[in-house]
């Protein structure tokens, strides 16, 4: 009977477990998880803070109990793998309740330990009122703290899209939010149009933001934090640190091929460079479909897919991940922003002779009530007209406009395919020439 060990019981790990079980109902599947909570929608955390979602429990798809009942597999929680020996095929597992460490051998292993928040040297993360925004315990701590202390002033360090979602959430709670960002803009990896839209929205919503701002020191007196930057001292009742994540693979040692940030390299079937060891989720680098090169872009959606694929292949199937195209989306107050593929600058860095065009066009028939403008920028290869990327800034739901572009990238399609696309048209839902078509046409007829 095949034997499997899975480290990590979230999106990637449990997706794999379910696929293995589906193929081999009698398999022995051992699932270890460092935390007490498993299988939760971490992407929903800001929306609980903001009150869009009422119950923390809504984010939890499965408890260990309900997973066992529904899927017939046990998850051993609060078990941290602290060492992995590929040669002896052994794990050192620490019981976080008792502190005891035991060794255990494995046959087929999946590493699905995810990522952990980057930490800033000047912040004491043990201090009450300093939070990361990554786990269910983080979320419980945040809600309890800001409710009990009636926190009014929040400092959010980091203006990536999680930082921005958090910023909206805290504003919705009536808090005064100050965003501090070391780089010279929010969402640094996004094109300028998106950055400008975000900054205007912050201003409109009375969110303070300081760019190119480094915190040198944080002092806390009487529950008030004082953040010292080059130019000023800022007071805050609560501090959130949202400055990105790093792969949680410190136990893996040096025998794995990795990306510079430590993410494990896997092939398109989820195999690491070490035999019988697969990896999936926020601890791995995945193939970018447009370049063929591995990139680190940790997202719940990709973790789910790679987990499913790793599980299917571990179970003996032969399934290949085509690669990501770099699709991202987030909501920021009344804005919806999404991108996929590359901006012109990124495409040029990757060696393409690229051009970009942009259009602004209504999201439905211009005469239909509620029509609102959609800004779309597309990048394409000059000679072949192959689409290389798209950016959308709109109000309703940018997925509506970015998903067709993501499909087109996956299909290696050209502007000719898109300019004349037989897209949905009806006045309440879509215009004759939607943003993607119009941008493609403009690219072809400058």
Contact set with a copy of itself (CB under 8 A) = 11, 41, 43-44, 47, 52-53, 58-59, 289, 299-302, 304-305, 309, 320-331, 336, 338, 340, 365, 367-369, 397-400, 402-404, 406-408, 410-413, 416-418, 420-430, 432-434
Q: Are 361 and 430 in contact (CB under 8 A)?
A: no
**Distance separating alpha carbons of residues 401 and 407, to the nearest angstrom:** 11
**Distance separating alpha carbons of residues 12 and 282, to the nearest angstrom:** 8
Angle formed at CA 269 by CA 247 and CA 340, multiple of 5 degrees: 65
Place of tokens 């002033």: 153
* Residue 246: strand pairing partners: 116
Least separation in angstroms between residue 359's CB and a copy of itself is 15
Other Cβ atoms within 10 Å of 81 Cβ, number: 21
Least separation in angstroms between residue 300's CB and a copy of itself is 6
Q: In terms of CB distance, is 255 or 291 closer to a copy of itself?
A: 291
Least separation in angstroms between residue 146's CB and a copy of itself is 21
Q: In terms of CB distance, is 256 or 433 closer to a copy of itself?
A: 433
Q: Are 34 and 135 in contact (CB under 8 A)?
A: no
Least separation in angstroms between residue 213's CB and a copy of itself is 27
Residues 6+ positions from 15 with CB-CB distance below 8 Å: 280, 303, 304, 305, 307, 308, 311
Q: In terms of CB distance, is 96 or 297 closer to a copy of itself?
A: 297
Return the SS3 of 67: helix
Least separation in angstroms between residue 67's CB and a copy of itself is 16
Least separation in angstroms between residue 374's CB and a copy of itself is 12
**Distance separating alpha carbons of residues 406 and 410, to the nearest angstrom:** 6
Q: Are 40 and 16 in contact (CB under 8 A)?
A: no
Q: In terms of CB distance, is 3 or 426 closer to a copy of itself?
A: 426
Q: In terms of CB distance, is 206 or 445 closer to a copy of itself?
A: 445
Q: Are 48 and 165 in contact (CB under 8 A)?
A: no
179: left (phi over 0), alpha (psi -120 to 50) or beta: beta
Least separation in angstroms between residue 430's CB and a copy of itself is 4
Q: Give the end-to-end CA distance of the chain in Å, rounded to a whole number.
A: 63
**Distance separating alpha carbons of residues 216 and 370, to the nearest angstrom:** 47
Least separation in angstroms between residue 75's CB and a copy of itself is 20
Q: In terms of CB distance, is 358 or 397 closer to a copy of itself?
A: 397
Burial class (CB in 10 A: 0-12, 13-18, 19+), 431: buried
**Distance separating alpha carbons of residues 285 and 111, to the nearest angstrom:** 13
Q: In terms of CB distance, is 47 or 225 closer to a copy of itself?
A: 47
Angle formed at CA 123 by CA 122 and CA 129, multiple of 5 degrees: 155
Least separation in angstroms between residue 418's CB and a copy of itself is 7
Q: In terms of CB distance, is 117 or 323 closer to a copy of itself?
A: 323
User: Nearest 5°: phi and psi at 110?
Assistant: -120, 125
How far does Cα 262 stand from its chain's mean position? 17
Return the SS3 of 23: helix
Dihedral sign (CA 63, 250, 187, 218): positive
Least separation in angstroms between residue 40's CB and a copy of itself is 10
Least separation in angstroms between residue 314's CB and a copy of itself is 15
**Distance separating alpha carbons of residues 179 and 236, to the nearest angstrom:** 11
Q: In terms of CB distance, is 260 or 367 closer to a copy of itself?
A: 367
DSSP assignments along 331-367, one per residue: EETTEEEEEEE--HHHHHHTT--EEEEEEEEESS-TT
Least separation in angstroms between residue 211's CB and a copy of itself is 24
Q: Are 114 and 303 in contact (CB under 8 A)?
A: yes
Q: In terms of CB distance, is 182 or 289 closer to a copy of itself?
A: 289
Q: In terms of CB distance, is 199 or 399 closer to a copy of itself?
A: 399
Q: In terms of CB distance, is 195 or 386 closer to a copy of itself?
A: 386
């Amino acid at each position: 009977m095949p034997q499997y060990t899975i480290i990590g019981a979230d999106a990637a790990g449990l997706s794999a477990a379910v696929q293995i079980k589906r193929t081999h109902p009698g398999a022995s599947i051992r699932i270890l998880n460092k935390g007490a909570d498993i299988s939760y929608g971490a992407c929903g955390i800001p929306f609980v803070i903001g009150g869009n979602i009422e119950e923390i429990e809504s984010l939890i798809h499965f408890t260990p109990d309900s997973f066992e009942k529904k899927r017939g597999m046990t998850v051993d929680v609060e078990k941290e793998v602290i060492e992995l020996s590929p040669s002896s095929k052994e794990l050192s597992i620490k019981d976080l309740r008792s502190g005891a460490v035991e060794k255990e051998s494995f046959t087929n292993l999946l590493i699905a330990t995810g990522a952990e928040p980057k930490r800033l040297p000047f912040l004491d993360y043990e201090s009450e009122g300093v939070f990361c925004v990554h786990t269910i315990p983080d979320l419980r701590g945040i809600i309890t703290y800001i409710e009990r202390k009636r926190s009014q002033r929040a400092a959010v360090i980091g203006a990536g899209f999680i930082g921005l979602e958090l910023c909206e959430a805290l504003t919705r709670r009536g808090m005064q939010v100050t965003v501090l960002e070391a780089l010279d803009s929010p969402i640094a990896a996004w094109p300028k149009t998106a950055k400008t839209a975000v900054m205007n929205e912050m201003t409109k919503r009375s969110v303070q933001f300081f760019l190119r701002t480094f915190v040198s020191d944080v002092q806390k007196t009487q529950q008030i934090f004082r953040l010292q930057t080059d130019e000023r001292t800022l007071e805050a009742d609560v501090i959130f640190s949202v400055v990105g994540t790093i792969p949680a693979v410190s136990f893996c040692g040096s025998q794995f091929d990795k990306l510079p940030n430590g993410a494990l390299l896997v092939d398109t079937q989820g195999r690491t460079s070490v035999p019988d060891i697969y990896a999936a989720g926020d601890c791995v680098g995945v193939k970018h479909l447009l370049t063929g090169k591995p990139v680190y872009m940790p997202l719940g959606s990709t973790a789910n897919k790679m987990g499913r694929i790793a599980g299917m292949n571990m179970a003996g199937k032969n399934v290949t991940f085509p690669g990501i195209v770099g699709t991202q989306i987030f909501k920021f107050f009344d804005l919806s922003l999404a991108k996929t593929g590359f901006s012109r600058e990124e495409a040029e860095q990757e060696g393409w002779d690229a051009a970009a065009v942009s259009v602004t066009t209504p999201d439905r028939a211009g005469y239909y009530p509620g029509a609102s403008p959609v800004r779309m920028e597309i990048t394409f290869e000059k000679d072949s007209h192959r689409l290389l990327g798209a950016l959308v800034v709109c109000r309703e739901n940018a997925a509506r406009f970015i998903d067709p572009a993501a499909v087109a990238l996956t299909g290696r399609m050209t502007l000719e395919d898109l300019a004349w696309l037989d897209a949905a048209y009806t006045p309440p839902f879509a215009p004759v020439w939607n943003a993607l078509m119009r941008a493609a046409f403009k690219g072809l007829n400058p």
